[in-house]
Structure 1
């Protein structure tokens, strides 16, 4: 299913808070219960998908939303870490995964990283999330590190070298 023609991307505003949070609450159970269990999902929703956790990123201009009509159907959140731009979140509601919305959001994050003169864009995904791994590999990302998860799956770190970047 391709829905790109009806999708618009834009920077999130305060009015988008509930829609952004709803994307997380719609995607996390389907994505992470099979990989890490219900307790991990409950912890993640309580820690990363609340108004308190989301408002600072929206205010800082680091959240992009994808919408169809007036419904937010996907989002990204980026931020700096150790001199690199990190894609902290990229989520598309389950019924639209595979429709091209995620690719649109990812290309927008890559364009932002390039415009802000970062040399690479980094992200992580939970080991076992084969859909995420395949999606990011398809877009040119390569694994460079792993954080041991202990009781949850490891976090696999990937990066994309950006065109026009220079070392040093």
Structure 2
């Protein structure tokens, strides 16, 4: 557990399910509607921000929450991808963005990847999400490729951070 600026980072428990899902329901419309449209937002919320989609990751110990004043204000979810660790989700409630919570969550994910023996942390963001691009580049992530959904949704831009001897984060 880490506490800084009154924010507590900890592993999510079953009691956090509603708070974790709420982070997605509150961040996705503001983040993705301008980039990919309302249909994409509705699809993503229905697919990735439900109890059925979230409980397995919480049970597996792959979800970290940022808590402030007894409210979950941000979260990450990680998991294996082709022998590396993938950061599948990193979201902070809109009213807390820009205050360092995302950086705390990302540094925790990097530390977990290193502690678990991974040599890379991978992630993707939607092309056009310039805030995400700048955020991840600031932490040393580099683009490795792009993937098209073929459905009019912007490309997914894949990034990686090479984890070497604690030099990042």
TM range (shorter): over 0.9
TM-score w.r.t. structure 1 length? Answer: 0.95
Where 2:5 maps in the other structure, the secondary structure is: helix
| Alignment-derived partner of residue 102 in structure 2 | 102
Consecutive unaligned residues in structure 2, runs of 5 or more? none
Alignment of 1:7-156 (within 5 A): 7-150=7-150, 151-156=152-157
- Unmatched 5+ residue regions in structure 1? none
Number of residues of Structure 1 aligned to a counterpart in Structure 2:
162
After superposition, what is the alpha-carbon deviation per residue over 1:58-79, rounded to whole angstroms, capped at 9, x for unaligned? 0000000000021000000000
- The secondary structure found in structure 2 opposite 1:98 is coil
Moved over 3 A (4+): none
Q: Calculate the TM-score normalised by the size of structure 2.
A: 0.94
Instruction: Work out the CA distance in 2 between the residues paired with 1:69 and 1:9.
Output: 12
RMSD: 0.9
Q: In structure 2, how many angstroms separate the alpha carbons of the residues matched to 1:51 and 1:123?
A: 22
